[in-house]
Each structure stands twice: as structure tokens, then as C-alpha cells.
């Protein structure tokens, strides 16, 4: 990775530093807690690619169910939960051996997204066609509850304290909030933009970012009031969204543009647009915040973005971040 030297108030542009071939129709990326590997479901192949983030090469593939479309990794990094949208099941991969363990877990109709609670005890699965969220006990790998949400739940994210799950309902233009203690919806659905899909929560739990595919916006929800407080216009058909570990930026994939928009979360403005592959679907950011891995659906590749250390509001008046002689974009790997 190249190192850039930035003057005060400036930043070296983020760049794609690698492009990794994977399987057919990659949609999502999940990265292990230690940052050493990325897991990428390939929908058409029925496989999950495993990428070594130190070398940015695919080291193996794991055969799962029919049309795997999403993946989440447990906090200790030992299991990857993969939704198979055509089977209505979830496969569990042992990340130590990269083999499937146990029988597929039956869930609702069209499992399209999955997230794990911070304590690792539960997996929450959005079922697109049955308007339900399945709750899996990760100790027994059994569905223990279902929660009725809005029409066509397509994305979800869990707050850092594990108390709430925010679910995007793509056919209702709303977000439902689940109390994970009771597994019940709390409050009225939150109106957002048209066809909400991607959901991400800031590290401090105060904000939820939701992409709206049709109106090319990202909504920001205040979790204290559960209301939309601002929107930011991004590229064409924003789909996935992730927040950097320091909470400073939101990275948004624009599927029809082949780009990623970078939103400064302090100013709610786009500070950078990065060209990636065709049909970027969703993405993941390494735990150290150094890289973003973007699944390009039509290219059968994953783009690797070197994340800026100095962008937007962070560059203003902080010489240690972007002052003369400072290094922007450290040379560390995603491990």
C-alpha cells in the first residue's frame, strides 16, 4: 500500500488497492474480528469464498446451501452464519476448518440478511418474503422465535449494546425496531426513504444509517427518539452501508454507479466518491479501519479500498491527522 503525505486540511484520495476474483455473484462481505479473513457468499455458485486479507487472495471456498446471499461472523470469530435465500435455511461454517457444521437451520421464506448480537448468543435473520425476522440461538443452532415486522424486510443491524435490532422494510419504506430482550417490535415503524435496504449503527449506538435505493439517499435515525433527523444524497441506487470503527465516516455502495460514497458523519456530507467494480452490492470494513472490502455483483470480484486517515471534518485543524509531514493511510493490513 502506498503512503501519502498530506498538508494541513488536505487528504490523499482513497483508492482501490486490490481487486480479488471470487465466485459467481458475490453480494456481501463479512470480516473476522481479528481482521485476518473475509467471507464472501457467491449466490449463483452456492459457495462462500474465504479471502486472506494479508495477501488479498481467495484461499478456499466452502459449499453451503442454495443461493447464499448474506453472512455474519460471531464475535469470537469461530462461526460464520450464511443465509441461503432459495433454501430458506442458514448454514453454519466452522471458521477454523472452513467446513459446514451441523444441518442447515430452517428459518423463514427468503432469508436475505443476518446479524449476530454482540454477546454472540443470537443470530437475527431477515426473511424477505415472509415479513419476519427469525431469532436463532447460536448455542443450539435452533430458531427460537420469530418477529413480525414490515413488508419485505431486507436489511438489519444490531446496536452495540445488543438491546435493539433495526430492520429495513423495503416495501413499506420504513424501519422496524425490535427489542432483543423481548423479541417484540417497539414503537411505530420509522418512515425513511423509498426502498430502504442497507442498515448500519454507529459505534456509540446513537445513530442508524439506512440506504434508500430509489431516491438515492441515506437516512439518519436518532436512536434516542427513533426519528429520521437528516438525509444525505449519494450515488445511484445506494445499497450497502457500513460505518468506520471510529464512527467518523459512512461508506455507501451505489449499485448503478459502480461507486462508493463516503459520508462525513459529523457534517452529513459526501466527502469522497470512489470508483469500484460493477454493481457494488454490500461491503465490510476491517476492524482496524484500514480497508473496506466491496462485493461487486456483476464482476465476480471484491474491491479493496484503502481508507483515508484524514477526510472531511477530521482534516480541519488537526495537524496530527493531516498536518505537514504526517502520514495519511497507514501501511497496516486488515489483520
Overall pTM surpassing 0.85 (yes/no): yes
When mean pLDDT is compared across 11-20, 68-77, 128-137, 306-315, the lowest value belongs to 306-315
Residue 310 is predicted with a pLDDT of: 59
Instruction: Say whether 311 sits in a helix, a strand or coil.
Output: coil
Non-local (6+) Cβ contacts of 196 within 8 A are 154, 155, 168, 169, 170, 173, 174, 175, 210, 211, 212, 213, 219
Non-local (6+) Cβ contacts of 225 within 8 A are none
What nine digits make up the cell of 239? 445499497
Mean pLDDT of the chain: 91
| CA atoms of 247 and 145, how far apart (whole Å) | 32
- Does CATH place domain 4-328 in 2.130.10.10? yes
| CA atoms of 8 and 76, how far apart (whole Å) | 39
When mean pLDDT is compared across 3-7, 9-13, 23-27, the lowest value belongs to 3-7
Mean pLDDT of 25-51: 99
pLDDT band with cut points at 50, 70 and 90 for residue 335? very low
Mean pLDDT of 18-33: 98
Residue 14 is predicted with a pLDDT of: 75
pLDDT, tens digit (0-9, with 9 covering 90-100), for 224-255: 999 999 999 999 999 999 999 999 999 999 99
pLDDT, tens digit (0-9, with 9 covering 90-100), for 140-191: 999 999 999 999 999 999 999 999 999 999 999 999 999 999 999 999 999 9
pLDDT, tens digit (0-9, with 9 covering 90-100), for 88-144: 999 999 999 999 999 999 999 999 999 999 999 999 999 999 999 999 999 999 999
pLDDT higher than threshold 50 for residue 320? no
| CA atoms of 306 and 1, how far apart (whole Å) | 8
Residue 12 is predicted with a pLDDT of: 46
Structural domain boundaries in the chain: 4-328
Q: Using DSSP bridges, classify how beta strands 57-63 and 47-52 pair: parallel, antiparallel or unpaired.
A: antiparallel
If one counts every other C-beta atom within 10 angstroms of the C-beta of residue 324, the result is: 10
Please give the full DSSP string across 124-183, using - where no structure is assigned. EEEETTTTEEEEEETTTTEEEEEEE-SSSEEEEEE-TTSSEEEEEETTTTEEEEEETTTT
Q: What percent of the chain has pLDDT over 70?
A: 88
HSE-CB of 176 using CA atoms within 13 angstroms: 25
Residue 1 is predicted with a pLDDT of: 33
> With contact defined as beta carbons under 8 Å apart, do 190 and 196 qualify?
no
Residue 311 is predicted with a pLDDT of: 55
Amino acid at each position: 500500500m502506498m503512503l501519502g503525505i498530506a498538508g494541513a486540511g488536505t487528504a490523499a484520495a482513497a483508492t482501490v488497492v486490490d481487486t480479488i476474483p471470487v465466485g459467481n455473484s458475490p453480494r456481501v462481505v463479512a470480516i473476522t474480528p481479528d481482521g485476518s479473513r473475509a467471507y464472501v457468499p457467491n449466490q449463483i455458485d452456492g459457495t462462500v469464498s474465504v479471502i486472506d486479507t494479508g495477501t488479498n487472495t481467495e484461499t478456499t471456498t466452502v459449499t453451503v446451501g442454495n443461493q447464499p446471499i448474506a453472512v455474519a461472523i460471531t464475535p469470537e470469530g469461530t462461526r460464520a452464519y450464511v443465509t441461503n435465500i432459495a433454501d430458506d435455511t442458514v448454514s453454519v461454517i466452522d471458521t477454523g476448518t472452513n467446513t459446514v457444521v451441523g444441518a442447515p437451520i430452517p428459518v423463514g421464506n427468503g432469508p436475505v440478511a443476518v446479524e449476530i448480537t454482540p454477546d454472540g448468543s443470537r443470530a437475527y435473520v431477515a426473511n424477505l418474503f415472509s415479513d419476519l425476522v427469525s431469532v436463532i440461538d447460536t448455542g443450539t443452532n435452533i430458531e427460537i422465535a420469530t418477529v413480525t415486522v414490515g413488508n419485505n424486510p431486507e436489511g438489519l443491524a444490531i446496536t452495540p449494546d445488543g438491546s435493539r435490532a433495526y430492520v429495513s422494510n423495503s416495501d413499506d419504506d420504513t424501519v422496524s425496531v425490535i427489542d432483543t430482550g423481548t423479541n417484540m417490535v417497539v414503537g411505530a415503524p420509522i418512515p425513511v426513504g423509498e426502498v430502504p435496504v442497507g442498515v448500519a449503527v454507529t459505534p456509540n449506538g446513537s445513530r442508524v444509517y439506512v440506504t434508500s435505493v430509489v431516491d438515492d439517499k441515506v437516512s439518519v435515525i436518532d436512536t434516542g427518539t427513533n426519528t429520521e433527523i437528516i438525509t444525505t444524497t449519494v450515488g445511484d441506487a445506494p445499497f450497502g452501508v457500513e460505518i468506520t470503527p471510529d464512527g467518523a465516516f459512512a461508506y455507501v455502495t451505489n449499485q448503478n454507479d459502480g461507486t462508493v460514497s463516503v459520508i462525513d458523519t459529523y457534517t452529513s456530507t459526501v466527502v469522497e466518491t470512489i470508483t469500484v467494480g460493477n454493481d457494488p452490492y454490500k461491503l465490510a470494513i476491517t476492524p482496524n479501519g484500514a480497508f473496506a472490502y466491496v462485493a461487486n455483483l456483476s464482476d465476480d470480484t471484491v474491491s479493496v479500498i484503502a481508507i483515508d486517515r484524514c477526510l472531511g471534518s477530521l482534516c480541519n485543524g488537526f495537524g496530527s491527522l493531516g498536518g505537514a509531514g504526517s502520514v495519511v493511510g497507514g501501511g497496516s493490513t486488515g489483520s
